[in-house]
Structure 1
Amino acid sequence: MKDTTKQDERIAKMTFASVYPHYVHKVEKKGRTKAELHQVLEWLTGYDESALQKQIEDKVSFETFFKNASLHPNTHLITGVICGYRVEEIKTPLTQQVRYLDKLVDELAKGRKMEKILRSNA
């Protein structure tokens, strides 16, 4: 596996607010809703609507975003390839958490059923 130190540092410093509009655009373009995106975000991070809005307004980095999050206990069930990496094999915890989010957004945009995205059958 190649060294991803520079990429990990870049991801840590990136703000959630800068990426959030891209998530919204991606899911809405595929016929899903912002409310569904928020449901996925809340499942993964524990942030409800107002807490999520505060993260956006405060322009927190992904590092802070995930440090303050309460990750769902079933995040280990998120598997597969995103951005050329298997999410379950990513060594840096923060990068893995961001890729979990990317994977869930991708699944939502691809029309996967919500109960599958939220790993409800586990």
Structure 2
Amino acid sequence: MTVTAMKAGAEDFLAKPFREQDLLDAVAAALQKDQHRRHGMRKLDELRSGYQSLTPREAEVMRMVVAGLLNKRIASELSISEVTVKIHRGQAMRKMKARTFAGFVLMAQQLGICPH
């Protein structure tokens, strides 16, 4: 019965007889876990929204940057100047609200667009 309940999504299983405090603790733990899950979903939705706000070129530069390509190589592959690559990269980081390059890469990983 316990295994069936857990597979169906139960957070905990209390055997009878149980103390009232055990029930309250189980409910509190489930609510906290759900709060963390909802927070994570909101953050992921924010990331997706930021990524969708990128122009196609900004998204392309983002993918190449987080793949580890240098600005010079990106510029060569896209037939644009390094300055333009830096502008697209900066715009993408601003729109994604990335404070650091490491944060930018982490965002890409969370979105599933980073090869790492």
TM-score w.r.t. the length of structure 1 is: 0.28
User: Counting helix residues as a fraction of each chain, which structure ranks higher?
Assistant: 2
Q: Which has the higher contact order (CA 8 A, sep 6+)?
A: 1
Q: Rg bigger for which structure?
A: 2
TM-score w.r.t. the length of structure 2 is: 0.29
